[in-house]
């Protein structure tokens, strides 16, 4: 089969890779219908994270082609959406809703690599969710978004306790930030402030439910959020950038006793303990337990109540993956869908 | 009146200070019955925080001597316990339970200084709580503990979501850590692991409800907590030390999706964002909103259901405050009560 391998920073190639097969009885092999490039794939691309002939890709939708003898909830031919972290969905941590910290957790990125024609998914019952039937082609982008960016933005909004009566500020206008806006809206937030200085993304944020846009950043951004919230700060803040400045902007924008949900942090961020302490806020972050939300998100998409697929603004065939990486690196695209 | 002034690091003197009077209509002036020295008073004492002729003390119980015209819930002669942070207890932040971040928040330490015969307490209705009557002398230490160490340990246990079915690990065997053990027990925790290598404090931790004691620290301490929790980590962890090592020990001891409550962080702590991210945990910390818990804590003490006063292991008259600071600095005492 064909699949993406990143040989070194900036060096993305589509090459022949061995076809995956069922190894463990809990495995499934899927034939991908679509996959995509994640903002986090740019970290190794830019040399911020190590990379050496790495199998790329961790977002995926597709059709089950083969299942192991222990797989119970899936059948060959099912259309499935999967999480970017493998989980058994039965252990104590999974049952508490933190599937990304499952005792069998394994990142799909790097070892499995779903920017490919096929993928072997371990713990298939606990990682994949079947759609109610074969989806219309127009639903594919949205279902694919559920695999990571939607699931991650949704988790961030839940972690920030977005809900009725709440003012939610979203730091970051990338795909995850936009999905957090969508989630905050669905969760019933009263006011949603998108922090963005990019006209097209501001427009998409408003489409997804943002009621206000703040262009200022850093301390000025914090001051603006306070001005909009009677001096108190937002009840709920989502951090979806992951730099030192954006993280501290998110901390500063959260009111005392408020909730900060953060879903991306790069390796250089150092949080001054004393600033977090005197902020007096709740935080919850980490790789999103997408599997917790997948059944609900799939249904919302199936019922056409949400349209997360609009975050994809460039579609390319898998064979042109290298151009997809370039487009995202150069910010010509927010998120690139790869067809198969 | 007489009161403690720290002229410089290590230089504690009891001197004549001006008698406080009601200034604002929401003020009360109280005559103190007892006060004490806090672990945090050692930071300036040791030169870790700046100090220059600072009025010391922020824990206090006493009798109301004078009230402003707007004070409604208190009368002259009432016995009161107060929080170490002034709060109006009516603003939006207070109503959400975060009185230490009140829009009128003011730290009692430094500007008011309750290591003294009298103190002016702003926003008296929102800061002080009257006891049901004049307390027996034996209840004074426990009521005084409610003012900070008990209230802070309680908040930490609540922040860590200690409760039925939960395993709670407490990092730190100082007065606040011991109070967190007491709180975890009262909140119904199933298992309480005190991290301590000090025999007398281990004994007190067991008295307050610890079911296990772990002497290891750092990575070894984390490994021990995992060993005791089926490899998962504790559901709830309290951080009550505030150093880099202890904070990261607390992060490491918390299971994925678990809750970390932290109530003391020194100025040098830098939290590696990526470690917090991959831990996948809830955190809540900061100066404790003691006022939220005071009515309940006063009643528990009044009914003799809890005995937090045992954390005081040295009692001295106010005039001997300097010796009290020395005893705590040299770790000859856990916590010093000053009589008036």
- Co-location of A79 and A131 in the same domain: yes
Give the span between the Cα atoms of B152 and B240, in whole angstroms.
Answer: 9
Mean pLDDT of A115-125: 98
- Co-location of B324 and B192 in the same domain: no
User: What would the two tokens of residue B311 be?
Assistant: 């954390």
| Beta-carbon separation of B277 and A256 below 8 A | no
Q: Work out the minimum CA distance from A284 to partner chain B, whole angstroms.
A: 4
| Beta-carbon separation of A280 and B272 below 8 A | no
If pLDDT is split at 50, 70 and 90, which confidence band does A161 have?
very high
- Co-location of B158 and B267 in the same domain: yes
- Co-location of A107 and A22 in the same domain: yes
- Co-location of A204 and A278 in the same domain: yes
Q: Is the separation of the CB atoms in A108 and A102 below 8 Å?
A: no
Q: Is A226 on the interface with B (CB under 8 A)?
A: no
- Co-location of A144 and A208 in the same domain: no
Give the span between the Cα atoms of A271 and A262, in whole angstroms.
Answer: 13
Mean pLDDT of B234-243: 97
The three-state secondary structure class of B102 is: coil
- Co-location of B200 and B318 in the same domain: no
If pLDDT is split at 50, 70 and 90, which confidence band does B48 have?
confident
Last residue of a domain, one of A285, A305, A329: A285
- Co-location of B250 and B333 in the same domain: no
Mean pLDDT of A230-247: 97
Q: Is B262 on the interface with A (CB under 8 A)?
A: yes
- Co-location of A142 and A162 in the same domain: no
Q: Is A10 on the interface with B (CB under 8 A)?
A: no
Percent of chain A beyond pLDDT 90? 96
Chain B interface disruption, residue of A102, A286, A288, A289, most B CBs within 10 A: A286
Beta strand B2-8 pairing with B11-16: antiparallel
What was the pLDDT predicted at A265?
82
| Beta-carbon separation of B101 and A284 below 8 A | no
pLDDT digits (tens, 9 = 90+) for A249-272: 999 999 999 999 999 888 889 999
Mean pLDDT of A291-295: 98
If pLDDT is split at 50, 70 and 90, which confidence band does B267 have?
confident
pLDDT digits (tens, 9 = 90+) for B172-230: 999 999 999 999 999 999 999 999 999 999 999 999 999 999 999 999 999 999 999 99
Mean pLDDT of A53-60: 97
Which domain covers residue A88, as residue numbers? Answer: 2-148+289-339
Across the interface, of B262, B270, B274, the residue whose CB is closest to A267 is B274
Residue B264 has pLDDT above 90, yes or no: no
Is the Cα dihedral B142, B144, B146, B152 positive or negative?
A: negative
What was the pLDDT predicted at B286?
97
| Beta-carbon separation of A265 and B284 below 8 A | no
Q: Is B266 on the interface with A (CB under 8 A)?
A: yes
Mean pLDDT of B297-326: 98
Across the interface, of B96, B98, B283, the residue whose CB is closest to A283 is B283
Residue A48 has pLDDT above 90, yes or no: no
Q: Work out the minimum CA distance from B40 to partner chain A, whole angstroms.
A: 14
CATH number of the domain that A211 lies in? 3.40.50.720
- Co-location of A192 and A111 in the same domain: no
Last residue of a domain, one of B270, B285, B300: B285
Q: Is B96 on the interface with A (CB under 8 A)?
A: yes
The three-state secondary structure class of A308 is: helix
CATH number of the domain that A306 lies in? 3.90.180.10
What was the pLDDT predicted at B265?
82
Per the structure, the count of domains in chain B is 2
Q: Is B107 on the interface with A (CB under 8 A)?
A: no
């Amino acid at each position: 089969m064909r699949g993406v391998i990143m040989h070194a920073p900036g060096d993305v190639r589509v090459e022949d890779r061995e076809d995956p097969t069922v190894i463990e009885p809990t495995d499934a092999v899927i034939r991908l219908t679509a996959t995509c490039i994640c903002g986090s794939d740019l970290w190794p691309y830019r040399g911020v994270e190590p990379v050496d002939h790495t199998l790329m890709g961790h977002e995926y939708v597709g059709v089950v082609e083969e299942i192991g003898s222990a797989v119970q909830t899936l059948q060959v031919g099912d259309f499935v959406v999967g999480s970017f972290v493998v989980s058994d969905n039965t252990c104590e941590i999974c049952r508490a809703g933190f599937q990304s910290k499952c005792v069998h957790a394994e990142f799909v990125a790097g070892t499995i690599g779903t920017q490919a024609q096929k993928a072997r998914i371990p713990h298939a019952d606990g990682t994949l969710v079947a759609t109610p039937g074969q989806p219309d082609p127009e639903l594919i982008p949205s279902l694919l978004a559920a695999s990571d960016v939607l699931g991650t933005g949704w988790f961030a909004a839940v972690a920030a306790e977005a809900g009725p009566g709440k003012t939610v500020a979203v730091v970051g206008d990338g795909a995850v930030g936009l999905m957090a806006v969508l989630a905050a809206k669905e969760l019933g937030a009263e006011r949603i402030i998108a922090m963005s200085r990019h006209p097209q993304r501001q427009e998409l944020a408003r489409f997804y439910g943002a009621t206000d846009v703040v262009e200022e950043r850093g301390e000025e951004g914090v001051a603006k959020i306070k001005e909009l919230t009677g001096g108190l700060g937002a009840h709920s803040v989502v951090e979806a950038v992951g730099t030192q400045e954006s993280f501290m902007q998110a901390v500063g924008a959260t009111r005392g006793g408020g909730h900060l949900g953060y879903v991306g942090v790069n390796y250089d961020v150092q949080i001054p303990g004393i600033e977090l302490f005197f902020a007096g806020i709740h935080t919850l972050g980490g790789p999103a337990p997408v599997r917790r939300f997948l059944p609900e998100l799939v249904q919302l998409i199936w019922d056409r109540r949400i349209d997360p697929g609009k975050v994809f603004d460039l579609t390319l065939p898998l064979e042109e993956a290298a151009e997809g990486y370039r487009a995202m690196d150069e910010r010509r695209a927010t998120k690139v869908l790869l067809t198969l």
